A and B are shown apart, each in its own frame.
Chain A
Amino acid sequence: MSQLALVIDLNVCVGCHACVTNCKEWNTSGSAGALSDDNPYSKDPTGTFFNRVQTYEVGTFPKTETVHFPKSCLHCEDPPCVPVCPTGASYKREEDGIVLVDYDKCIGCRYCSWACPYGAREIDEHQKVMKKCTLCVDRIYDENLPEAERKPACVLACPTSARLFGDVHDPDSEVSVAIREQGGYQLMPEWGTKPSNHYLPRRKNHVSYKKDELERVDNPLKKEDYQVDSTEPSLDDVTSW
């Protein structure tokens, strides 16, 4: 069984919110109807979103780091929101592991949103049904689109390629390799929900060298007992190559 998911690289995310905007744009334009907003240009705007980018400050000033943290439905392998649904509107697809809501069956009781520890579900205040990230299920299988575009809208929008998309059950997929080799982790592992989406941690590249590595040991000039005089012009100074 495959399990489609996102892998989000926190080392690369710059917090530009392009994924948020493209997600909203794609999902408000689909056949399922608009993702409704209220008062978008006046006081107290509110609306339904599937994806957000949050910002955290780690450490104490001046030793701080800013972490931009994109957050959407994690398409858990053991989703707590699914068994609690009284109508069966909330379900996990067998074939690709996407957790979806059937908008025609949902009664809008909000119980699934209580059952999600991540706050990934939002009610549409106009359609009165629960909505959530669909991993752009209406895009990724659309054969009218060029193959390179059969990816979730957020992945296509990301200017730094911080978002990877693929099958986390296929050990050779790009996402599985990234999780394995770059320390991919899950959110709130304490609840046993086994989120499919993974995050790649912040990592720093350190170059470590020893002082003797700066000097060439077998320098032929040393063999000829040639003393380098720094006042003398070097080859660079006298030739133009």
Chain B
Amino acid sequence: MQPAFSVIFLTTLIGMGQGLFLAIYTRQVYSVLNVVEASSTGEFYSLGSALALCLLILGLIASIFHLGRPERAWRAASMWRTSWLSREVIVLPTVMGLVFLYGLVHFMGWNVVLMTFGSIPIDLSMIIGALTTLAVFSLYIATGMIYACLKFLQEWHSPLTVINYLLLGSVSGFTLATLLASYQQPELVSFFSGWSIVLLVLAFIFRGASLIRNKRLRPKSTVQTAIGVRHNQIKQKSMGFMGGAMNTRDFFHGKTKFFLKSIKLLFIIMVFIVPMAILILALFKPSFMVLVVACASMFIGLLAERWYFFAEGNHPQNIYYQAIA
């Protein structure tokens, strides 16, 4: 496929925003359950939510550039019974609204205790946070399923697609939370970097599994099934036109195999290796500037990863467009 930068930015930005929310809420749950010392402040939570909301809004803005008729975008909420894209269109504003509420409750200090389980107080933000977490997971699933449900795009048609959207989004958010912690509450750095390392290892395993799976795929459609002629030697002599068309532009990346391999190597280094080294370092000696490098490397790497994900999708319609004259 031809990667569209609007979609690359949409998926990476909202993935990171969702992950950042999951990170700060995980911290809150840990604090409430007294697993860690309840040192994080409402200010940290509200700042984190604000940052997450910014990322979600930026993602939404990026998605507008993908539409031919953005003024009709509201219509996209109508077919949620059948379309994963429609479901994403519904869940994304829901997540944004809930993240806003969660941050607002922390910021305004409206965090009243609603009930207690033994010695564990359940306050308003915990309830909103739980709902938001549910919405965030739904959004990851909806985003991943948009691609995973297309069965003839064999590279995408796998549970690994959804898992990778979930894990890569989460790990980028947790890494950003580490950076935020080092800026505001350095005592939280080891908590977030620890989680980030765990998620990064998981993401590496599953993204690697997807790369291996896709390398071994054999296309189900061939030129024989495409035109229905049973013969081993079939060559297209003409696609029927010499000018351009959407069919020749939208479905192939137009880059060399070497370029693709370079992008793959680039994202493996920038998403996994560089941040992993810095996150391990941050466990012992947290430094704001070095963590900025980790976040930047991971985000740029994720842009490359998403580009590669789209470029790797091999659309069967390309069989029909192999020879110009």
Contacts and interface: CB of A to CB of B under 8 A. Distances in A.
B60 to A, nearest CB: 14
A106 B70 CA distance: 10
Interface string B234-273: 1111111111111100110000000000000000000000
Given A107-B73, A111-B146, A118-B320, A123 B246 contact: yes
Interface hub of A56, A66, A108 (most chain B Cβ within 10 A): A56
B270 to A, nearest CB: 27
Interface in B57-82: 66-70, 72-73, 75-79, 82
A107 B146 contact: no
B115 interface: no
B82 A47 contact: no
B240 A17 contact: yes
B220 interface: yes
A46 B234 CA distance: 27
A86 B234 contact: no
A20 interface: yes
B1 interface: yes
Contact of A87 (B79, B227, B237): B79
Contact of B220 (A60, A83, A110, A190): A190
Contacts, number: 174
B300 interface: no
A117 B85 contact: no
B231 A58 contact: yes
Given A46-B243, A113-B246, A190-B221, A54 B79 contact: no
B151 interface: yes
A199 interface: yes
A55 B68 contact: no
Nearest to B229: A58
A49 B68 contact: no
Interface in B22-68: 66-68
Given A17-B240, A56-B227, A114 B69 contact: no
Given A116-B317, A188-B226, A202-B229, A87 B221 contact: no
A109 interface: yes
B231 A59 contact: yes
A45 B243 contact: yes
A190 B225 contact: yes
A159 interface: no
B118 interface: no
A115 B237 CA distance: 26
A33 to B, nearest CB: 14
Nearest to B246: A122
A160 to B, nearest CB: 17
Contact of A54 (B77, B84, B150, B320): B320
Contacts of B234: 56-58
Interface in A168-201: 185-191, 199, 201
A199 B254 CA distance: 31
B119 interface: no
A67 B223 CA distance: 13
Nearest to A108: B68
Contact of A117 (B241, B247, B317): B317
B317 A118 contact: yes
Given A123-B246, A199-B228, A84 B68 contact: no
A188 B233 CA distance: 18
Given A20-B240, A84-B82, A86-B83, A107 B76 contact: yes
6 shortest interchain CB distances as A-B pairs: A108-B68, A119-B317, A128-B68, A45-B243, A52-B240, A46-B244
Given A46-B244, A117-B221, A119-B251, 11 more contacts: A52-B241, A57-B235, A86-B78, A109-B68, A110-B66, A114-B1, A118-B316, A118-B317, A128-B69, A185-B228, A188-B226
Interface of A: 17, 20, 39, 44-49, 52-60, 66-67, 69, 71, 80, 82-89, 105-111, 113-119, 121-123, 127-129, 185-191, 199, 201-202
Interface of B: 1, 66-70, 72-73, 75-79, 82-86, 89, 146, 149-153, 220-221, 223, 225-229, 231, 233-247, 250-251, 315-318, 320-321
